[in-house]
Structure 1
Amino acid sequence: MKLIENLKNVWQIEELRDRILMTFSLLLVYRFGAQITLPGIDSTQLVGLASNFKDGIGGILNAFTGGAFAKASVFALGIMPYISASIVVQLMGIAIPYLQKLQKEGESGRRKINQITRWLTIGICLIQAPSYMLSLGSLGVPESAFMMQDQQTLFLVISTIILVTGCVFAMWLGEKITDKGIGNGISLLIMVGIIATLPQAFIQEIGSRVDGVGGWFLIIVEVVIWLLVIAACIMLVMGVRKIPVQYARRSATGGYEKNVFGSRQYIPLKLNASGVMPIIFAQAIMFVPSAIGQMDASWAKSIGTAYGDIFGFWYNLTFALLIIVFTYFYTAITVPTNKMADDLKRNGGFIPGIRPGTETSEYLDRIMSQITLPGSLFLAAVAIFPAIISLMGVTQSWALFYGGTSLLIMVGVAIDTMQQINSYLLNRHYDGLIKTGKNRKAVA
Structure 2
Amino acid sequence: MLNSFQQAFKVGDLRTKLLFTLGMLLVFRVGAHIPVPGINPEAIQQMLTGQLFGFFDIISGGAFKRFSIFAMSITPYINASIIMQLLKVIIPRLDELSKEGEEGRKVLAQYVRYGTVVLAFIQAIGMSVALGRNGAVSSPGWGTYLIIAISLTAGTAFLMWIGEVITEKGIGNGISLIIFGGIVSRLPSQIHGVSQELAGGIIGYFNIFLFIVLALAIIAAIVAVNEGQRRLPVQYAKRVVGRRLYGGQSTFLPLKVNAAGVIPIIFAMSLMMFPATIGSWMNPASKFNQFLNTYFHFGSIAYNLIYAVLIVFFTYFYVAIIFNPMDVAENIKKYGGFVPGIRPGRPTAEYIDRVLSRLTLAGGFFLAMIAILPNIIIGLTGITSLWFGGTALLIVVGVALDTMKQIESHLLLRSYEGFVK
TM-score, structure 2 normalization: 0.87
SS in 1 for 2:406: helix
| Deviation at residue 163 of structure 1 after TM alignment | 1.2
- Describe the shift of the 1:308–1:174 C-alpha distance in structure 2 as closer, same or farther (beyond 3 A): farther
Tell me the distance in 2 between the aligned counterparts of 1:176 and 1:301: 44
What is the correspondence of 1:233-382 to structure 2 with a 5 Å cutoff? 233-248=222-237, 253-256=243-246, 261-262=248-249, 264-296=250-282, 298=286, 301=289, 305=293, 309-382=297-370
Deviates more, 1:303-312 or 1:326-335: 303-312
SS in 2 for 1:269: strand
Q: 5+ residue gaps in structure 1?
A: 431-439
Deviates more, 1:193-202 or 1:224-233: 193-202
Deviations, residues 137-158 of structure 1 (Å, cap 9, x unaligned): 55564x7xx4xx4x95433322
Q: Which amino acid aligns with 1:217?
A: F
Tell me the distance in 2 between the aligned counterparts of 1:362 and 1:276: 26
| Deviation at residue 407 of structure 1 after TM alignment | 0.8
Query: What's 1:19 paired with?
Result: 17
| Deviation at residue 19 of structure 1 after TM alignment | 2.9
Tell me the distance in 1 between the aligned counterparts of 2:26 and 2:295: 35
Deviations, residues 184-239 of structure 1 (Å, cap 9, x unaligned): 22222112111111222233234324433551122111111111111111111111
- Describe the shift of the 1:365–1:382 C-alpha distance in structure 2 as closer, same or farther (beyond 3 A): same
CA-based RMSD: 3.1
Query: What's 1:442 paired with?
Result: 419
Tell me the distance in 1 between the aligned counterparts of 2:120 and 2:67: 15
Identity of aligned residues (%): 42
Question: Is the counterpart of residue 165 in structure 1 residue 144 in structure 2?
Answer: no
Query: What's 1:185 paired with?
Result: 174
Query: What's 1:74 paired with?
Result: 69
Tell me the distance in 2 between the aligned counterparts of 1:34 and 1:309: 30
8 A contact 2:56–2:71 mirrored in 1 = no
Q: Which amino acid aligns with 1:228?
A: A
8 A contact 1:341–1:358 mirrored in 2 = yes
| Deviation at residue 72 of structure 1 after TM alignment | 1.8
Deviations, residues 228-261 of structure 1 (Å, cap 9, x unaligned): 111111111111112122344677922358xxx4
Count of residues in correspondence between the two structures: 418
Tell me the distance in 2 between the aligned counterparts of 1:61 and 1:68: 9
Tell me the distance in 1 between the aligned counterparts of 2:278 and 2:72: 18
Tell me the distance in 2 between the aligned counterparts of 1:318 and 1:443: 57
Tell me the distance in 2 between the aligned counterparts of 1:8 and 1:203: 29
Q: Alignment partner for residue 426 of structure 1, among 409, 412, 415?
A: 412
8 A contact 1:290–1:308 mirrored in 2 = no
| Deviation at residue 29 of structure 1 after TM alignment | 1.4
SS in 2 for 1:56: coil
Q: Alignment partner for residue 411 of structure 1, among 393, 397, 413?
A: 397
SS in 1 for 2:419: coil
SS in 1 for 2:382: coil
Tell me the distance in 1 between the aligned counterparts of 2:381 and 2:209: 14
- Describe the shift of the 1:333–1:416 C-alpha distance in structure 2 as closer, same or farther (beyond 3 A): farther
Deviates more, 1:160-169 or 1:87-96: 87-96
Query: What's 2:188 paired with?
Result: 199
Tell me the distance in 2 between the aligned counterparts of 1:208 and 1:36: 30
SS in 1 for 2:231: strand
- Describe the shift of the 1:309–1:203 C-alpha distance in structure 2 as closer, same or farther (beyond 3 A): farther
- Describe the shift of the 1:213–1:287 C-alpha distance in structure 2 as closer, same or farther (beyond 3 A): closer
Q: 5+ residue gaps in structure 2?
A: none
Q: Which amino acid aligns with 2:410?
A: Y
- Describe the shift of the 1:394–1:106 C-alpha distance in structure 2 as closer, same or farther (beyond 3 A): farther
Deviations, residues 62-109 of structure 1 (Å, cap 9, x unaligned): 111111111121111111122223333333444344444444444444
| Deviation at residue 36 of structure 1 after TM alignment | 0.4
- Describe the shift of the 1:268–1:16 C-alpha distance in structure 2 as closer, same or farther (beyond 3 A): farther
